[in-house]
């Protein structure tokens, strides 16, 4: 029975991680979503533990039925959440109610398991002085195993949809093994033969889910991506989707457009080529933080003064795609295969804090600050590390979200960088795919040449409407990551 305890503990934690990860993909703000999932899941476990007392009379049968029900609900959880999200895409509150109910339901079923196992021990006269500690020992060991295999193996290999079926199958396996265990003990109150039809139907349901995997996933994805989908990938960090219609090739990360091939060169000219004009005419060592698609490195390699490029990206899957996928390889011109480019697969914050190297040009090409894991890369502490990593008169530039919809993000970024560098300059460039996009540039012990940055345009000038609500913005720090609030406020204001 202790074997069952460890297995059901693994399943319980995996369901929790599964729902937390999926809700982070769908809604964003991973800290908030995991907090909600943990809260509702634990509450459900408390409810389940309470109501388990009413199931102890027929505990042998009820434990089996709970495992059977949990296997079905757990295996269906990803499908239910994804299609609820599609249906309620314009009614986020309604979707969150469904997502909380699914979390609460699974938590309740999981919460019934351990008390029932303890009562079964008592009924079968298996109890000992250490039975409670034994049960919790195996329960916690199972939790540790689940927390390790989910990010390291299950997520990158199976993906969320298949993980839900896999974990549901484990609950079904526990139910079947439990029946044989009772038979071995000579208990005929509940038998495999009696419940064969139920087990067979559940197995058929799981097999149908596996066979319909690609079709179901495509229906879900195509609802959000209007262009034909080329490939989808799941890494421990994000879902990656590649689409293409004619010459229009796109990459999406967690449903957010990363680039569009038809106008990404405008973005990278603003991010790379223009700030390069502020660096003295000398050999330039460049550091790209993010930019795993290789497009920033491509632009840098075209400048004859750039002698070396160090690229730091957290997600090895994005780097692999950039080196092997033919459409992206053609777009980035094989930049990541160039011997001038040295690649590190690690967190950019840790790299900046720990590196001893100095660079002439540092580019931060991160996603928008939707949650704390990204907001730290827009913090005063991070920019302090950047300043220390720059050579004298070196230049730092970062993308800073939509200049109109996320104006608070843009100008809070400018204010935060100014607090470290002494001064910084926000500028913007119109992109057909993204709208008016914001950037911030700063120079170590120097002044930005506005003409070199903007040419004949007035890219550092902002109309009055862009400045609304930006007068008293806070500096973004690790202790107070206000950037997340600013990002959410902007998009909520315009119902985006």
CATH number at residue 397: 3.40.50.150
Same domain? 34 vs 170: yes
Average pLDDT over residues 363-367: 95
Same-domain pairing of 115 and 252: no
- Clarify whether residues 197 and 62 are in a common domain: yes
C-alpha separations of 57 from 47, 54, 119 in Å: 18, 7, 9
Tens digits of per-residue pLDDT, 369-389? 988 889 999 999 999 999 999
Is 406 part of a structural domain of the chain? yes
Do residues 124 and 72 both lie within one domain?
A: yes
Average pLDDT of 128-135?
72
pTM score, two decimals? Answer: 0.80
Could you tell me if residue 219 is inside a domain? no
Q: Are residues 210 and 292 in the same domain?
A: no
User: Are both 78 and 116 inside the same structural domain?
Assistant: yes
Total domains in the chain come to 3
Name the residue with higher pLDDT: 232 or 493.
Answer: 232
Do 428 and 390 fall into the same domain?
yes
Task: Provide the percentage of residues in the chain whose pLDDT is more than 70.
Answer: 96
Among 141-155, 237-251, 256-270, 329-343, top mean pLDDT goes to 329-343
Query: What is the pLDDT at residue 315?
Result: 94
- Of 459 and 108, the one with more pLDDT: 108
Residue 203 lies in a domain: yes
pLDDT at res. 127: 61
Instruction: Provide the β-strand partners of residue 287.
Output: 310, 362
**pLDDT of 264 higher than 90:** yes
Nearest alpha carbon to residue 364 among 341, 387, 342: 387
Residue 30 has pLDDT above 70, yes or no: yes
Residue 101 has pLDDT above 80, yes or no: yes
**Does residue 128 surpass a pLDDT of 70?**
no
Q: Which long-range contacts (CB under 8 A, 24 or more apart) does 113-116 make?
A: 113/8, 113/12, 113/48, 113/63, 113/66, 113/67, 114/5, 114/8, 114/49, 114/139, 115/49, 115/52, 115/53, 115/56, 116/52, 116/55, 116/56, 116/59, 116/62, 116/63, 116/66
Residues 84 and 230 in one domain: no
Enclosing domain of residue 329: 263-493
Report residue 110 as tokens.
């999981």
Average pLDDT, the chain: 89
| Residue 91: CATH number of its domain | 1.20.1250
What was the pLDDT predicted at 409?
A: 94
CA–CA separation, 282 vs 264, rounded Å?
27
Q: Check if 365 is active-site.
A: yes
Alpha-carbon distance of 305 to 461, in angstroms, equals 29
- Residue 148, token pair as written in the block: 């390790």
Q: Are 114 and 133 in contact (CB under 8 A)?
A: no
Query: Residues 251, 377: one domain?
Result: no
Q: What pLDDT was estimated at residue 495?
A: 54
Query: pLDDT tier at 496 (50, 70, 90 boundaries)?
Result: low
Looking at the predicted structure, is the pLDDT value of residue 188 above 80? no
In order of 329, 348, 387, the CA distances from 360 in angstroms are: 27, 17, 11
**Cα separation, 490 vs 492, whole angstroms:** 6
Residue 250 inside a domain? The answer is: yes
> Quick check: is 32 in a domain?
yes
At 461, the pLDDT band (50, 70, 90 cuts) reads: confident
pLDDT of residue 89 exceeding 70, the answer is no
pLDDT-derived band at 284 (thresholds 50, 70, 90) equals very high
Whether residues 168 and 247 share a domain: the answer is no
Closest CA to 43 of 101, 1, 84: 101
Residue tagged active-site, from 365, 371, 436, 485: 365
Residue with tokens 């059901």: 8
The Cα 183–Cα 160 span in angstroms is 35
Among candidates 414, 404, 456, which has minimal Cα distance to 435? 404
Q: Residue 31: exposed, middle, or buried by beta-carbon count in 10 A (0-12, 13-18, 19+)?
A: middle
Residues 364 and 315 in one domain: yes
Are 344 and 370 members of one domain? yes
CB atoms within 10 A of CB 339: 6
451 within some domain: yes
Binned at pLDDT 50, 70 and 90, residue 151 comes out as: confident
Domain assignment present for 392: yes
Two tokens at 354? Answer: 């720990």
Q: Could you give the CA distance from residue 101 to residue 378 in angstroms, rounded to a whole number?
A: 35
Give yes or no for residue 261 having a pLDDT over 90. Answer: yes
| Range from 72-81, 168-177, 191-200 carrying the lowest mean pLDDT | 191-200
Residue ending a domain, choose from 214, 246, 281 = 214
Q: How many Cβ atoms sit within 10 Å of the Cβ of residue 54?
A: 9
């Amino acid at each position: 029975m202790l074997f069952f305890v460890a297995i059901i503990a693994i399943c319980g934690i995996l369901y929790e991680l599964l729902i937390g990860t999926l809700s982070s993909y769908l809604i964003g703000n991973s800290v908030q979503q995991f907090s909600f999932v943990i809260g509702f899941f634990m509450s459900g476990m408390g409810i389940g533990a309470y109501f388990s007392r009413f199931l102890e009379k027929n505990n042998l049968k009820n434990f089996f039925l709970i495992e059977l029900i949990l296997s079905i609900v757990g295996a269906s959880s990803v499908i239910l959440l994804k299609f609820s999200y599609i249906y309620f895409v314009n009614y986020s509150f309604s979707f969150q109610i469904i997502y909380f109910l699914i979390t609460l339901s699974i938590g309740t079923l999981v919460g019934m398991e351990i008390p029932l196992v303890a009562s079964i021990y008592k009924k079968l006269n298996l109890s000992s002085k250490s039975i409670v500690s034994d049960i919790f020992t195996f329960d916690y060991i199972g939790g540790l195993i689940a927390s390790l295999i989910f990010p390291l193996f299950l997520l990158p290999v199976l993906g969320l949809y298949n993980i839900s079926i896999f974990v549901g199958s484990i609950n079904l396996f526990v139910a079947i093994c439990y029946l044989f265990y009772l038979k071995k003990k000579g208990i005929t109150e509940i038998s495999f033969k009696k419940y064969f039809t139920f087990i067979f139907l559940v197995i058929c349901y799981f097999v149908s889910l596996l066979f319909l995997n690609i079709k179901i996933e495509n229906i879900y994805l195509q609802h959000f991506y209007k262009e034909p989908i080329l490939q989808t990938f799941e890494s421990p960090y994000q879902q990656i989707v590649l689409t293409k219609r004619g010459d229009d090739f796109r990459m999406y990360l967690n449903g957010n457009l990363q680039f569009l091939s038809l106008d990404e060169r405008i973005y990278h000219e603003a991010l790379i080529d223009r700030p390069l004009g502020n660096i003295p005419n000398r050999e330039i060592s460049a550091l790209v933080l993010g930019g795993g698609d290789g497009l920033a490195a491509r632009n840098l390699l075209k400048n004859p003064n750039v002698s070396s490029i160090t690229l730091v990206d957290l997600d090895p899957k994005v780097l692999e795609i950039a080196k092997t996928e033919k459409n992206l390889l053609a777009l980035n011109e094989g930049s990541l295969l160039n011997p001038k480019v040295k690649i590190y697969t690690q967190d950019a914050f840790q790299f900046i804090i720990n590196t001893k190297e100095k660079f002439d040009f540092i580019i931060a090409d991160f996603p928008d600050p939707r949650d704390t894991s990204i907001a730290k890369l827009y913090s005063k502490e991070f920019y302090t590390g950047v300043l220390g990593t720059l050579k004298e008169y070196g230049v730092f530039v970062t993308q800073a979200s939509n200049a109109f919809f996320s104006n608070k993000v843009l100008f809070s970024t400018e204010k935060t960088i100014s607090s470290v560098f002494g001064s910084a300059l926000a500028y913007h460039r119109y992109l057909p795919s993204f709208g008016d996009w914001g950037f911030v540039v700063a120079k170590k012990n120097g002044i930005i040449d506005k003409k070199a940055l903007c040419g004949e345009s007035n890219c550092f000038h902002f109309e009055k409407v862009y400045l609304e609500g930006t007068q008293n913005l806070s500096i973004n720090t690790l202790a107070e990551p206000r950037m997340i609030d600013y990002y959410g406020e902007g998009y909520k204001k315009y119902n985006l």
